[in-house]
């Protein structure tokens, strides 16, 4: 069974324009054209397209995705290069995930603070501390006057 670019766009949640862009960038050399010259995607093509979308969604550069696809097109002899490329990308994803988790902890801390029944008192304590630090350093107080 084959699919048109419109059908594939609907299946994978990308626009036909994006799929054409990917093709122009050399990411879809595995997609054949039918007798009329239109792209004809197979289920196997969709599987590889899913990998491309995953790599793009996790921050891999188009040039690196193209390199990965070149390795795929080269066959099993390129498995070591694929492994190296994907391992480096996985490490980058894990580093980004660690940053996101640290930021999430800060957001959770603030939400817990604001959900506390004594939130106003706790925020006023933070504000007093900040004002005290500014004053001790001889800096202007940028906070509005609160009473």
SS percent in the chain: helix, strand, coil, step 5: 70, 5, 25
Give the pLDDT band (50/70/90) at residue 143. Answer: confident
Would you state the pLDDT for residue 61? Answer: 98
Would you say residue 58 lies in a domain?
yes
How far is Cα of residue 88 from the mean position of the Cα atoms in its chain? Answer: 15
Would you say residue 137 lies in a domain?
no
How many whole angstroms separate alpha carbon 82 and alpha carbon 74?
A: 11
Query: 6-22 in b/e burial notation, b at 16+ Cβ within 10 A?
Result: eebbeebebeeeebeeb
Whether the pLDDT of residue 103 is over 70: the answer is yes
pLDDT digits (tens, 9 = 90+) for 78-87: 999 999 999 9
Would you say residue 53 lies in a domain?
yes
| DSSP assignment of 13-68 | T--HHHHHHHHHTTS-TT-EE-TTS-EEB-HHHHHHHHHHHHHHHTT--HHHHHHH
pLDDT digits (tens, 9 = 90+) for 39-53: 999 999 999 999 999
Q: What is the CA radius of gyration of the chain?
A: 26
Would you say residue 17 lies in a domain?
yes
Q: Phi/psi zone of residue 4: left (φ > 0), alpha (ψ -120 to 50 degrees), beta?
A: beta
User: Domain total for the chain?
Assistant: 1
- Residue 14's CATH number: 1.10.1660.10
């Amino acid at each position: 069974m084959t699919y048109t670019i419109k059908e594939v766009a609907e299946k994978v949640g990308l626009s036909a324009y994006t799929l054409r862009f990917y093709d122009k960038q050399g990411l879809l050399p595995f997609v054949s054209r039918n007798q009329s010259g239109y792209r004809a995607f197979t289920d196997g093509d969709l599987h590889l397209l899913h990998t491309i979308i995953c790599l793009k969604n996790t921050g891999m550069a188009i040039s690196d995705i193209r390199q990965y696809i070149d390795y795929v097109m080269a066959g099993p002899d390129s498995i070591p290069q694929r492994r190296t490329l994907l391992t480096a990308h996985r490490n980058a994803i894990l580093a980004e995930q660690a940053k996101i988790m640290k930021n999430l902890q800060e957001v959770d801390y603030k939400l817990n603070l604001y959900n506390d029944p004594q939130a106003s008192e706790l925020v006023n304590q933070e504000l007093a501390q900040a004002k005290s630090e500014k004053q001790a350093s001889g800096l202007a107080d940028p906070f509005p006057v609160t009473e």
